[in-house]
């Protein structure tokens, strides 16, 4: 597998993971707040980190495409 294909696959994987964390955060907001407020910091941090990882993967792919 070429480097570009690997990077594209990584971007898709990271996007899926970020979306999954975002969905958990959404579910918390929709279904368990305000009672589940103690879960908020952990879910928010995990979502933020997943989005950062996705952004890094996108940047790596764009750099490789140049």
Flag whether 2 is in a domain: no
Is it the case that residue 1 has pLDDT exceeding 90? no
Residue 57 within a domain: yes
pLDDT tens readout for residues 8-57 = 999 999 999 999 999 999 999 999 999 999 999 999 999 999 999 999 99
Structural domains counted in the chain: 1
Report yes or no on 52 lying in a domain: yes
Average pLDDT estimate for 51-64? 98
Q: Is residue 59 part of a domain?
A: yes
Cis peptide bond N-terminal to 34, omega within 30 = yes
pLDDT at res. 19: 98
pLDDT at 14: 98
For residue 49, give its domain range: 14-23+40-66
């Amino acid at each position: 597998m070429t480097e570009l294909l690997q990077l594209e696959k990584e971007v898709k994987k990271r996007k899926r993971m970020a979306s999954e964390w975002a969905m958990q955060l959404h579910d918390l907001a929709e279904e368990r707040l305000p009672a589940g407020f103690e879960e908020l910091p952990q879910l928010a941090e995990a979502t933020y980190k997943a989005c950062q990882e996705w952004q890094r993967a996108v940047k790596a792919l764009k750099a490789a495409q140049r």
